Copies of this chain bind each other. A is one copy, B any other.
Amino acid sequence: MATRSHMLLALSLFVTHVSNQSGASRWEERNPGVWTTEFGRHDTPTLTEASGSTPLKGQIEKLPRAELPFKINEVKLTKTRDYCVVSVPLKPGEKIFGLGMQMSGINRRGGVYHLQVDHFAEGHDRLHAPTPMYISSLGYAVFLNTSRPINFYVGVGNRRTDPKIPAFKDRNTDRNWDAQPDSGQVEASVQAPGLEITILAGPTAMQALQRYNLFCGGGAMPPLWAVGFWHRTPSLATSSQVSQEVDEFAKRGFPLDVIGLEPGWQSRSYPGSMEWSPERFPNPKQFVSSMAEKGIHVNLWENPYVAPGSSLFKKLESRFGSHTVWLGAVPDVFDDKASKSIRDFHTDKHLNIGVSGYKIDEVDGFDFWLWPDHATFPSGLDGLQMRQIYGVLWQKLIDNMYRQKGQRTFGLVRGSNGAASRLPFAIYSDTYDHHQYITALINSSLAGVTWCAEIRSADSNEEWVRRMQSACLSPIAQLNAWDSGKKPWSYPAVSEEIREAMLLRESLVPYLYTAFAQYRLSGIPPVRPMCLIDGGVESDQYMLGDNLLFAPMFVGAKTRTVRLPAGKWYDYSSGKFAGSSQTITIAPSLSEIPLYVRGGAAIPTIPGALRADSIKPCLLRCYGEGPYVAPIYEDDGISFGFEQGHYFLGTARINKGKITTKLEDGLRPNVMTKFEYVVIAP
């Protein structure tokens, strides 16, 4: 009997194995230029399941038809004792971008990556967002859709039987000996019963990224206010202290749109109650209303670890993981009922009195704070897998919460992963190196996520200014002063430079809002790495939207070089011609921001704005020789109407003094904004 059952078992495993192998080659083009296959038994959840993403098929269809630079059957799928292995060919000179929101480097070829969610510390493995996706400079992307940790060997590890193995060289005598002979393959592996693999065509590298973002539901579309300026108050600030601080921004003429409350808004924290502190916020409804009257949106810090004293705790009915975090219970947010309890609780306590969004802290790491890899959860996921997607699940939960109210949100989160493009959150970190922040900004776009290059404090006036300039020219502009207590005017000698940077930011809201809409509708992220638009160049410059090029200055550097791509480029502030297809060296003073505009472009702005509550009246700043063209997006700024097409996407064109607008996409027949224009010239 035992013998017979073993025989049946053996037979059944063999059949499964064979069907896996043959199944592996069944690639389906479910969306144009997007091929998917299931390899082995499908692991639950995939990243697309965790994030609740479905492809924006209609938008994908607008991308040009494209093929891959290799035959899809050259992608090899093999199973070993413990691993599913995927091998994708690499061509000589091909560069590989992505593999998570990396904090250093851009081209991943020649490296090994063991991608896991963690608070970033060092290296390339443990990341806030270890998206298992890469983009090739040859114009395609590969996405391994699994919620398990994954290993990538990018051109590393030659197979012994590979007929194309490089020629041997003797290190003793051959000067051309190579310490790391390229394998001509990306090999990726995951310890799981199976995974889904998706390969996306370009034809360009940027279009491959666009296809990936659209495959994941399109980029996140923030409410208009989220494109303005964010500030966070000290942890134990009371409602009246917060009000005073907000008023101080207005009094001094500094823009502000979002005020973030840190742990002290709760009656207890670490573990948290998620309920208002009766001491520090005795009348939360009135507080949030008074903020709204001033045009200020309230964002609440939370981490998801629930104190037993909280009324949420009882509602979750022990749908918790085996281990605690800061002694708080860890809700199993892969469980629908737990998610519903959290949604109802938050809607009742926060959303219904006007809270606009959340900052979800500490869903990433560190190991010594989070649950162990072997923790168990009621839904059946283990700790390792849950950690890979915990930030994603929370983002989805909060997005759904606001969707039920028909109201867009935008928030902050410390952990994310693949298929999260559509989720309205920017990632932040407890690290604080300016170079790493800029690299993260570039690599976040290459990973299909958004990064908040926030400012917290500075050791010098110079640092304060340079970091504020970077923060203001990144997708989400935030002063996070929960710990430092800093205000924008905390360094009096450079207060004016700071105000200028913040006013620049606020004035660019119409332009940046359009850039986000492009992210949503065509998958092009607001921050555009030069490697995707300037022949694979690895650089710390980046394009912000279609027409602005920013070259950040770092503390201590008096000069820097800027590589200006094809076209003519002009200084944003003065309109002075800067160059064309060339590398220039600049020496900007502290008040000068190295920001360049493409010739012929018009940049939609609202000069002097202190709130991001409207995109009108809109001034088009024109550079170089006309006619000038500005991309323009407009919608109601707050609802999900844009998902039903209630938006205007098109251009404003200034030719010989006349402004015309043209609808390219969306239902609204004409733009309602009144435009004016000015040609910026020295």
Contact surface of A with B, Cβ cutoff 8 Å? 1-2, 4-6, 8-9, 11-12, 80-83, 85, 110-112, 114, 121-123, 151, 153, 156-161, 165-166, 168, 170-173, 177, 179-181, 187, 189, 191, 235-236, 263-264, 266, 268-271, 277, 307-309, 320-324, 326-327, 329-330, 366-369, 371-376, 380, 382, 384
Query: Of B12, B320, B369, which one neighbours A2 at CB under 8 angstroms?
Result: B12
User: Copies of this chain, how many?
Assistant: 2
- Asked if B268 and A170 make an inter-chain contact with CB atoms under 8 angstroms apart, the answer reads yes
Query: Of B181, B329, B384, which one neighbours A326 at CB under 8 angstroms?
Result: B181
Mind listing 29 A-B residue pairs with CB under 8 Å?
A6-B12, A8-B8, A8-B9, A9-B12, A80-B376, A81-B376, A83-B373, A85-B374, A112-B366, A112-B367, A112-B368, A112-B372, A121-B123, A122-B123, A153-B367, A156-B372, A157-B323, A157-B372, A159-B322, A168-B309, A168-B327, A170-B268, A171-B263, A171-B268, A171-B326, A172-B236, A172-B277, A179-B369, A189-B374
In angstroms, how far is the closest chain B Cβ from the Cβ of A123?
7
Q: What B residues does A366 contact at CB under 8 A?
A: 112
Q: What B residues does A320 contact at CB under 8 A?
A: 160
- Asked if B269 and A171 make an inter-chain contact with CB atoms under 8 angstroms apart, the answer reads yes
Interchain residue pairs A-B with the least CB separation, the first 3: A5-B8, A189-B374, A112-B367
- Asked if A269 and B172 make an inter-chain contact with CB atoms under 8 angstroms apart, the answer reads yes
- Asked if A374 and B270 make an inter-chain contact with CB atoms under 8 angstroms apart, the answer reads no
Query: Of B110, B165, B329, which one neighbours A160 at CB under 8 angstroms?
Result: B329
A372/B269 contact (C-beta < 8 A), A172-B236, A181-B326, A327-B165 known: no
Q: What B residues does A171 contact at CB under 8 A?
A: 263, 268-270, 326
Query: What would 20 more interface pairs be, CB under 8 Å, given A112-B366, A156-B367, A170-B269?
Result: A6-B12, A8-B8, A9-B9, A9-B12, A82-B374, A112-B372, A151-B373, A153-B372, A156-B372, A157-B324, A158-B327, A159-B322, A160-B321, A160-B322, A166-B327, A171-B270, A172-B235, A172-B277, A180-B368, A187-B374
Instruction: Across the interface, name the chain B residue whose C-beta is closest to A8.
Output: B5
Q: What B residues does A83 contact at CB under 8 A?
A: 373-374, 382
Q: How far is the CA of A181 from the CA of B368 in the complex (A)?
A: 10
Instruction: Across the interface, name the chain B residue whose C-beta is closest to A124.
Output: B367
- Asked if B158 and A324 make an inter-chain contact with CB atoms under 8 angstroms apart, the answer reads yes
Q: What B residues does A368 contact at CB under 8 A?
A: 110-112, 156, 180
Q: How far is the CA of A321 from the CA of B191 in the complex (A)?
A: 19
Instruction: Across the interface, name the chain B residue whose C-beta is closest to A148.
Output: B82
Q: How far is the CA of A180 from the CA of B122 in the complex (A)?
A: 22
Q: What B residues does A367 contact at CB under 8 A?
A: 112, 114, 153, 156
Instruction: Across the interface, name the chain B residue whose C-beta is closest to A188.
Output: B374
A151/B8 contact (C-beta < 8 A), A123-B122, A166-B327 known: no
- Asked if B157 and A375 make an inter-chain contact with CB atoms under 8 angstroms apart, the answer reads yes
- Asked if A181 and B327 make an inter-chain contact with CB atoms under 8 angstroms apart, the answer reads yes
Instruction: Across the interface, name the chain B residue whose C-beta is closest to A171.
Output: B270
In angstroms, how far is the closest chain B Cβ from the Cβ of A237?
11
Query: Of B172, B236, B266, which one neighbours A266 at CB under 8 angstroms?
Result: B172
- Asked if A151 and B372 make an inter-chain contact with CB atoms under 8 angstroms apart, the answer reads yes
Q: What B residues does A6 contact at CB under 8 A?
A: 12
In angstroms, how far is the closest chain B Cβ from the Cβ of A42?
16
Q: What B residues does A308 contact at CB under 8 A?
A: 168
Query: Of B181, B191, B264, B324, which one neighbours A172 at CB under 8 angstroms?
Result: B264
- Asked if A172 and B263 make an inter-chain contact with CB atoms under 8 angstroms apart, the answer reads yes
Q: What B residues does A12 contact at CB under 8 A?
A: 2, 5-6, 9
Q: What B residues does A177 contact at CB under 8 A?
A: 270
- Asked if A373 and B323 make an inter-chain contact with CB atoms under 8 angstroms apart, the answer reads no
Q: What B residues does A307 contact at CB under 8 A?
A: 168
Scoring A111, A320, A367, A376 by chain B CB atoms within 10 A of each residue's CB, the highest score goes to A367
Scoring A264, A268, A307, A380 by chain B CB atoms within 10 A of each residue's CB, the highest score goes to A268
A160/B269 contact (C-beta < 8 A), A151-B374, A369-B180 known: no
Q: How far is the CA of A283 from the CA of B243 in the complex (A)?
A: 88
Q: How far is the CA of A111 from the CA of B161 in the complex (A)?
A: 42
Q: How far is the CA of A80 from the CA of B236 in the complex (A)?
A: 41
Q: How far is the CA of A172 from the CA of B157 in the complex (A)?
A: 51
Q: What B residues does A189 contact at CB under 8 A?
A: 372-374
Q: How far is the CA of A561 from the CA of B85 in the complex (A)?
A: 55
- Asked if B2 and A371 make an inter-chain contact with CB atoms under 8 angstroms apart, the answer reads no
In angstroms, how far is the closest chain B Cβ from the Cβ of A612?
31
Scoring A9, A236, A372 by chain B CB atoms within 10 A of each residue's CB, the highest score goes to A372
Q: What B residues does A114 contact at CB under 8 A?
A: 367
Q: How far is the CA of A9 from the CA of B11 in the complex (A)?
A: 12
- Asked if A82 and B375 make an inter-chain contact with CB atoms under 8 angstroms apart, the answer reads no
Q: What B residues does A191 contact at CB under 8 A?
A: 191
- Asked if B372 and A187 make an inter-chain contact with CB atoms under 8 angstroms apart, the answer reads yes
- Asked if B374 and A323 make an inter-chain contact with CB atoms under 8 angstroms apart, the answer reads no
Instruction: Across the interface, name the chain B residue whose C-beta is closest to A376.
Output: B80
Q: How far is the CA of A488 from the CA of B187 in the complex (A)?
A: 46
A158/B373 contact (C-beta < 8 A), A12-B2, A122-B123 known: no
Q: How far is the CA of A110 from the CA of B367 in the complex (A)?
A: 10
Q: What B residues does A269 contact at CB under 8 A?
A: 170-172
In angstroms, how far is the closest chain B Cβ from the Cβ of A171?
4
Q: How far is the CA of A114 from the CA of B367 in the complex (A)?
A: 10
Q: How far is the CA of A231 from the CA of B172 in the complex (A)?
A: 20
Instruction: Across the interface, name the chain B residue whose C-beta is closest to A370.
Output: B157
Q: How far is the CA of A321 from the CA of B111 in the complex (A)?
A: 21
Query: Of B110, B153, B158, B374, which one neighbours A80 at CB under 8 angstroms?
Result: B374
Instruction: Across the interface, name the chain B residue whose C-beta is closest to A154.
Output: B368
A268/B157 contact (C-beta < 8 A), A180-B368, A327-B181, A374-B80 known: no
Instruction: Across the interface, name the chain B residue whose C-beta is closest to A116.
Output: B114
Q: How far is the CA of A170 from the CA of B307 in the complex (A)?
A: 9
Q: What B residues does A159 contact at CB under 8 A?
A: 322-324
- Asked if B158 and A323 make an inter-chain contact with CB atoms under 8 angstroms apart, the answer reads yes
Q: What B residues does A81 contact at CB under 8 A?
A: 376, 380, 382
Q: What B residues does A329 contact at CB under 8 A?
A: 160
